[in-house]
Amino acid sequence: MRVIPAALLLPLILAGCKREARETRLDPPVAEALGGVRVMANGISGQPPMVNAAQGEPYRNNAYQLAQGKRLYEWFNCQGCHADGGGASGPALMNGWWRYGPDAVSIFVTLRDGRPNGMPSFRDRLTTEQMWQLTGYLQNLGATVAATAAPSRNDAMQTRPAENRAPAMGALPVSPDR
Amino acid sequence: MSAFLLRCVLPLLLLAGCSGWQSALDPRADAAQELHGLFWLFTITCGIVWAVVMLVLAGALLRRPAAARPEEERGRAERRSGRVVGGAVAATVLVIAGLTLASFFATRGISADHPEALVVRLRGFQWWWEVTYDDPSPNWVFITANELHLPLGRPVRLELAAADVIHSFWVPNLAGKQDMIPGRDNVLAFTPTQAGTYRAQCAEFCGLQHAHMALQVVVETPEEFGRWRATQVAAAAAPESAEEVAGRAVLEGKACAACHTVRGTAAAGTLGPDLTHVGGRRNIAAGMLPTTRGAMAAWIADPQTIKPGNNMPMVPLSADELQAVSAYLVRLR
Amino acid sequence: MTPAERDLRDAALEATEGAGALERRLERTWRTREGFWGALSTVDHKIIGRRYIVTAFAFLALGGVLAMLMRLQLARPESRFLSADLYNQIFTIHGANMMFLFAVPVAEAMAVYLVPLLVGTRNIAFPRLGAFSYWVYLFGGIMLWVAFILQTGPDVGWFAYVPLSGPQYASGKRADVWAQMITFTEISALAVAVEIVVTVLKQRAPGMSLDRIPIVVWAMLVMAFMIILAMPAVVTGSSVLIMDRLVGTHFFNPAEGGDVLLWQHLFWFFGHPEVYIIFLPSVGMLSTMLPSFVRRPIFGYLALVMSIMAIGVLAFGLWVHHMFTTGLPRLGESFFTASSMAIAVPAGTQIFCWIATIWLGRPVFRVPFLFILAFFFTFVLGGMTGVMVASVPLDTQLHDTYFVVAHFHYVLVGGAVFPLLGAIYYWFPKITGRMMSERIGRWVVGLLFLGFNFTFFPMHILGLQGMPRRIYAYPPELGWGGMNLFVSLCSIALAAGFLLFFVDAVRSARKGPPAGDNPWDASTLEWATTSPPPPYNFARIPVVTSAAPLWDERAALPVASGLSVNRRELLITTMGTATPEVRETSPQNSIWPFWAALATSVMLVWSIFSPWALVWASIPVAITLIGWFWPRGTPEDDA
C-alpha cells in the first residue's frame, strides 16, 4: 500500500529537482566537455556532447538555465537583428523554420562559429555554458508544443507573445517556406 | 530581574557598537546626525515608558491587598483605578503626539534640497552598483562602479534608480535608506560632515547575492576629491610591462570585453561594472574582496564559487592569461 | 421516522423516557461516525478545531526547524553551511509558513474550537464550510512543503516583492507556489471568518447581550471582520501576480505601464491588518484568561472592547508604514506616521486595563498567568520599538534591518505566541479532559522567556550596527560575528522551550491528571459543560444573566429548553440582546466538503502550470459542490 504513493512521488521529485535546481557553477571539465560537439561536414546537425545528456539536458529542461538564456538574448543584443524573435534584418527565430537545422547542435554551432550573411561568431563573447543556455532558450522560443520548463515572459520585449504562452506558433503567421 | 539586567546592559552594548563604518550609531553627515538625535529621543522616551509600565506591573504583582474588603471600599478602588487608567491613556496620547511632532520636524530638517549640490546618479544592478557623476560639461561626466567618492561639506544629491529589481541604498553613517525602484526615480540628499570611509549595503532583498552587494563611500577633502575626479575622467592607464600588454590583449580578446568597459581600449561592454579605474577602487566584486592581484585572479578564475549566482561567468583562461589580465587590471588606478 | 419523531423536543422527552435519555438522544444525533470516512466527514467544530490547532502547531515546529537552520548559518561570518539559494528559500518559507500556516490559522483554530462553547451553542455556523476550510488549509500547507522538498520552495521573501517575484526575475515555479499558497490559506481563512461572524452575531445563548460577550469572542469577531476586509486585497494581489507570470499580463511591469509599487500597496493593505489579525485573538484570550488568575472580573470591559475595535479600524490606515523608504510623497508619509503612532493609544489602553485588573485582584501564579507576564515584558518592549519604526525619518535607518526583525518577533512572539501558549495551557483541560504539567510548564515559560529575549534583543543592536535582514552571509570585518554567535547560542534555549512544550502537550494528552469540568474555576460558559465537551456541547442551552455566568450563578446555570433531539438544531438569537428568535437546523456530517477541498486544491495546484486549470478543474469543483448541497431527506432538511 505504501509503495504506491512512494512510486508516484519519486518521478515527481526527480522532475522537480531537475526543473528547479539552480546550478550556478559548472565544473570546468564539464564546461569544456560541453564544447565538444561533433558537427556534420556541412556545418548543420551533429552529435551533442555526451555530457549534456548525462546531466539530464539542463539547458532544455531547467527553468533557471532557460531564464539565463533569455537574459543573454537581451544582453548580447540578439534583438538587434532578430527583434524579439520575429526577425528583422536577421531571420525569425520562432516560426519553426531554421535555415541551419532545428536541433541543439546546429543552433549551438551557429552561435559559436557564426553563419554567412551576417551572423557573427560569439566564440569570444560567450562561454560554452552561456551558448548552451542561449541555445536552450532559442529552442524554447520556437517551440511548437509546451515544454516541461519554459522561461517566463520578459518585462521589456513585448512584440511577440510571451514565451510562457507556448505554443507560440498559433499567434504568428506561418512562414511561407513551410 | 532580567528586565533590569537588559536595561542596564543595553546602553553598554550600544556604546560598544558605536565605532562601526556601517552603523547608524556613528553619524558622519547632517542627515544621519539628525536621525541619530531622533533615535535617542525615541529610545529614551520609550525606555522610560517601558520601565514605568514594568514597575507598575511589578507593583501590582507584589502588593498584598487585604483579603476581604467591604464592598464600598472596593468600589472606591475601582473608581480610583479608572481615573489612573484614564490619566495613563491621556499621557500616552501626549507622548505619542510629542514623538510624532519630533519626527515631522526631523523630516523637514532632512529633506532640504540644495541648488549647489553635487549630483550623482546611482543604479542598482543584481548585485552591484553603477555610479555616474553628472556634470553640466560632458567632459566631466564619467561612470564608475561600487565606489562613491564625496567631497567633505558639500551637499550631495543622489539620484537613485534600479536596472532590474528593487534595491535599497543605505549608508547608515551618512543617511537613512532609500529604495531604488524600477520605473521610479528617488532622491537622497545629505551633506557629509566628517571624512572617512563608510560602507553602504543593499537593504532590500534583491535575489541570490543580496548579501554581497556593498558599496564603499569615501568622504574626502574637496582637493582630494578633485584629484580623484580628474583621474576618473581620464582614460585607462596604458600598460607598461609586457605582461600588462598581454593582459590588455586578454581583456580585449576574451569574453571580458563583452560585458566590461575599460575606456581607452577596445573593451566597451555595458553589462558589468566599468573597469577603467578598477585598480584604484578598494574592493572588487561589490565589496567582497580587496583589490589585490591575488584576489583579482581568484575572482576571475572562479567567480561562481566566491559569489554563487552572480552574473560573471567562469571564462576559461590559461594560467598565463589569468596572470596577465589580473596584473593589468590592478594596474588600472 | 415520522414527522412527529423528527421534531421530538427535549422538554417532551423527560416526561416519557426519564433521566439520561436526553444525553443519549443528543449523542446519537450529533455524533461523528467511527472510522476513516467518519473522520473525513465530520463537521463537529471541536474535532475540526482540534485538527486545526494540531496542524498549525506542526507547521510551527517545521518553521522553527528552519529558523534554527538560519541561526546555524548566521552563527559565523561568511558561513557556507547553507547555499545562498537554499537560505533564500528557507527564510521565505519560514516567514510564509509562520504567518500563513501558523499564526493566522491557529487564531482561527482557537476560534473554531472555542467560540461556539464560549457563546453557548451546539456547533459553529456553516460547519461544513469549516471542514472545507480545514482541508484547504491542510492541502495548501502540504503543497508549500512538498514544493520546498522538490527544490521549488519560494525564494523571494514572504512578501514577494515584484519584480523579483515577477516573470522576468523569478524563473521556474517557485514564486507561483508562493502565490497559490496564499490563495489556499486565504480561502480557508475567509471561510472561517464568515463562520465566526455568524456564530457570534446570531448563535449566542439567550441573554448573552453584547455587553456580556467574553472579550475573547469580541476579539475573534473583530478578527473575522478584519479577515473579510483585508484578505481580498492579497488574494487579488497574488492572483494578479500569477497572471503576470502565467498568462503575460503586465500589472506590475513598469516597461508596459504597470506599477511595481501597486504590489506593495496591495500586499501591505492586507499585510498590516494581518499583524493585528494575529495579535487581537491573543489579547482576547489573554483578557478572558486573566480573570481566572486574579480572581476578579476584568477591569474596564468597555474600554477593552472599544480598544479592540479601534485597533481593528486603525489597522487599515497604516499599511504605508511598510513603505516609508519607497519615496512616497511627504504628506502621505506624515499621515501614515500619525496613524501608526495613534494605534499605540488603544494598545496602551489595553495594557493599562490589564495592569489595573491585576492591581485590583489577587494573582495566582499558574502557568497561563506566567505566560501573561512574559507577554507584558516582551510585548510592551515590542510596542516601544513599534513606535520607533512608525516614525518616517527613524524608519529610514531601521527599515529592513535586524532591528525590524527583532521588532516584529517581539510583537508576534511576545504579543501573540506567548498568550497563545498560555491559552493552550489554559484550555488544554477543556479540549482533552486532562491537565498539562505545572512543573514542566514553568520550565517552558522560563526557557521561552529567557531564550526569546536573549535571542532577539541583541538583534536590535545588530540592526543599528547596519546589519540588513535577509542576508545569508556577512563579512567578518563588520564585527557582527560575536553578537550573531551569541544570538545563535541563545536560540537553542528558545528551541528547547518549544520542544519541552510539545513534549508536555503530547505526554499530558495521554496521561495527564484528569481535569474535571472547571479546573481554573473560570467564569465563562465553556466551563459549564464537561471536559472534553460532548458532541452536542450543552445538553441544554444555558441562559446567561451576567458577564461572568459561572461566578454569578454558582448553584446552577439557568437553561433553555425546547430544541429538537432527533435532528441537529440550534437556537438563533437576536444580534443585540440575544433574545431567542427561531430554531435553526445545523447540517449533518458530510464527506463532500472534503471532496470539494480536494477538487479546489487540484484546481489551484494545476493553475500554477496552466491557466486552463481554471476552466477544466472547475468541473470537479462544481460536481463536489452539487454533492455538498444535494438534499438527502434528512430530518435537518425539512426544517
Pick from A4-8, B126-130, B277-281: least confident? A4-8
User: Which residues, 6 or more positions from B207, have their beta carbon under 8 angstroms from its beta carbon?
Assistant: B126, B127, B165, B309, C88, C164, C169
Grade residue A144 by pLDDT with cuts at 50, 70 and 90.
low
In a domain, C77, yes or no: yes
Whether C167 sits inside 8 A of A153 (CB atoms) is yes
Judging contacts by C-beta atoms under 8 Å, the chain B residues touching residue C83 are 308
What does the alpha-carbon distance between residue C602 and residue C147 come to, in Å, rounded to a whole number?
15
How does residue A161 score in pLDDT terms, banded at 50, 70 and 90? low
Q: Which chain A residues are Cβ-neighbours of B256 within 8 angstroms?
A: none
Does C363 contact B at CB distance below 8 Å? Answer: yes
Alpha carbon distance B85, C351 (integer Å) = 9
| Average model confidence (pLDDT) across chain B | 89
| Mean pLDDT (chain C, rounded) | 93
pLDDT reading at A51 higher than 90: no
User: With helix as H, strand as E and coil as C, how does C354-379 read?
Assistant: HHHHHHHCCCCCCHHHHHHHHHHHHH
B242-331 CATH choice from 3.40.718.10, 1.10.287.3510, 2.115.10.20, 2.60.40.420: 2.60.40.420
State the average pLDDT over residues B114-143. Answer: 92
Model confidence at B108, pLDDT cuts 50, 70, 90, reads confident
Question: Residue B261: its pLDDT value, please?
Answer: 94
Model pLDDT, residue A158? 65
Same-domain pairing of C540 and C519: no
Domain spanning B17-60+78-229: CATH 2.60.40.420:
yes
**For chain C, what is the domain count?**
2
Q: What is the DSSP letter of B29?
A: B
Same structural domain, C557 and C598: no
Segment C181-240, tens digit of pLDDT: 999 999 999 999 999 999 999 999 999 999 999 999 999 999 999 999 999 999 999 999
User: Given a cut of 90, is residue B107 above it in pLDDT?
Assistant: no
Domain ranges within chain A, ordered by starting residue? 39-171
Residue count of chain A, please give it.
178
CA A95 to chain centre: 15
Residues of B in contact with C358 (CB under 8 A): 57, 60-61
Rounded Cα gap, residues B18 and B10, in angstroms:
13
**B218: β partners:** B149, B197
Determine the pLDDT at residue A148: 63
Report, as an integer, the average pLDDT of B109-113.
73
Residue C83 lies in a domain: yes
3 state DSSP class of C601: helix
Task: Calculate how close chain B gets to C536, using CA atoms only, in Å.
Answer: 40
pLDDT of C375 over the 50 cut: yes
pLDDT at C639: 57
Asked if residue C301 is part of any domain, the answer here is yes
B303 CB near a chain C CB, below 8 Å? no
Tell whether C494 and C585 lie within a shared domain: no
Cell output for C625: 459542490
Provide the pLDDT for residue C369.
Answer: 96
* Strongest mean pLDDT among A37-51, A100-114, C6-20: A100-114
What does the pLDDT read at residue C409? 96
Neighbours of C228 (CB within 10 A): 15
Is the pLDDT at A167 greater than 50? The verdict is no
Per cent of chain C over pLDDT 90 is 79
Residue A165 to residue C248, Cβ atoms within 8 A: yes
Domain presence at residue C632: no
Option in C85, C150, C171 nearest A63 (CB): C171
Q: Residue A149: closest CA among chain C residues belongs to which residue?
A: C172
Q: How many CB pairs under 8 A join B and C?
A: 248
What b/e string do you get for C515-535 counting C-beta neighbours within 10 Å, with b at 16 or more? Answer: beebbbebbbbbbbbbbebbb
Are residues C222 and C248 both part of a single domain? Answer: yes
pTM of the model: 0.93
Q: Average model confidence (pLDDT) for chain A?
A: 79
The 10 Å Cβ neighbour count of residue C322 is 23
A76 touches chain B (CB under 8 A): yes
Query: Among A6-10, B262-266, C263-267, whose mean pLDDT is lowest?
Result: A6-10
Please state, in angstroms and rounded to a whole number, the distance separating the CA atoms of residues C483 and C463: 11
Q: Which residues of C touch B309 (CB under 8 A)?
A: 84-85
B324–chain A nearest CA distance, Å: 17
Give the list of residues 6+ apart from residue A33 with CB closer than 8 angstroms, or none: A49, A50, A51
Q: Select from B271, B309, B316 the Cβ nearest to the Cβ of A31.
A: B316
Largest CA distance in chain B: 102
Q: Where do the structural domains in chain B lie, given as residue ranges?
A: 17-60+78-229, 242-331
Q: Which helix (H) or strand (E) holds A47?
A: strand A46-47
- State the cell numbers at C406: 527583532
The pLDDT of B155-172, averaged and rounded, is 94
> Residue B17 pLDDT more than 70?
no
Q: Is residue C112 within 8 Å of residue C128, measured between CB atoms?
A: no
In a domain, C636, yes or no: no
Residues C352-370: what's their mean pLDDT? 94
- Is 90 exceeded by the pLDDT of residue B51? yes
CA A129 to chain centre: 11
Least confident window among B109-123, B162-176, B253-267: B109-123
Pick the CATH number of A39-171 from 1.10.760.10, 3.40.50.720, 3.80.10.10, 1.20.140.10: 1.10.760.10
Confirm whether C160 is domain-assigned: yes
- Asked if pLDDT for residue C439 goes beyond 70, the answer is yes
Same domain? For C27 and C154 the reply is: no
Answer whether B305 sits within 8 Å of A75, measured CB to CB. no
**Residue-level pLDDT at C605:** 93
- C629 located within any domain: no
DSSP C483-547: HHHHHHHHHHHHHHHHHHHHHHHHHHHHHSPB--S-TT---SGGGGS-SSPPTTS-SSEE---SS
Q: How confident is the model at residue B78 (pLDDT cuts 50, 70, 90)?
A: confident
Contacts of C465 in chain B (CB under 8 A): 17, 20, 22-25
Say if residue C302's pLDDT is above 90: yes
Q: How many CB atoms lie within 10 A of CB B76?
A: 12
Check residue C330 and give its pLDDT: 80
CB atoms near residue C211 (< 10 Å) = 12
Helix C260-294 crosses helix C367-390 at what angle (to 10 degrees)?
150
pLDDT above 90 for A164: no
Range name among B101-115, C81-95, C231-245 with the lowest pLDDT average: B101-115
Q: Which of C36, C149, C150 to mutate to test the interface with A (most CBs of A within 10 A)?
A: C150
**Full domain range(s) for residue C553:** 3-32+527-590
Residue B204: its chain C contacts at CB < 8 A? 161, 400
Q: Which residues contact A160 (CB under 8 A, 6 or more apart)?
A: A84, A85, A86, A94, A168, A171, A172
- Closest by alpha carbon to B126, among B292, B296, B271, B301? B271
Contact B208, B309 (CB under 8 A): yes
Closest CA to B328 of B252, B245, B264, B263: B245
Q: What is the pLDDT of residue C156?
A: 93
Contact C386, C411 (CB under 8 A): yes
pLDDT tens profile C557-569: 899 888 888 889 9
Same fold, B17-60+78-229 and B242-331: yes
Task: List the single residue in B with minimal CA-CA distance to A32.
Answer: B316
CA distance A28 to chain C (A): 20
Q: Which chain C residues contact residue B59 at CB under 8 A?
A: 359
**Cβ separation C171–A154 shorter than 8 A:** no
Give the per-residue pLDDT at A168: 42
**Strands (DSSP E) found in C523-636:** 541-542, 559-560, 569-573, 580-585
Domain assignment of residue C623, yes or no = no
Minimum Cα–Cα distance from B182: chain A residue: A155
CATH number at residue C300: 1.20.210.10
What is the structure's pLDDT at B3? Answer: 47
Task: Count CB pairs under 8 A between chains A and B.
Answer: 39
Position C533 confidence tier, pLDDT thresholds 50, 70, 90:
very high
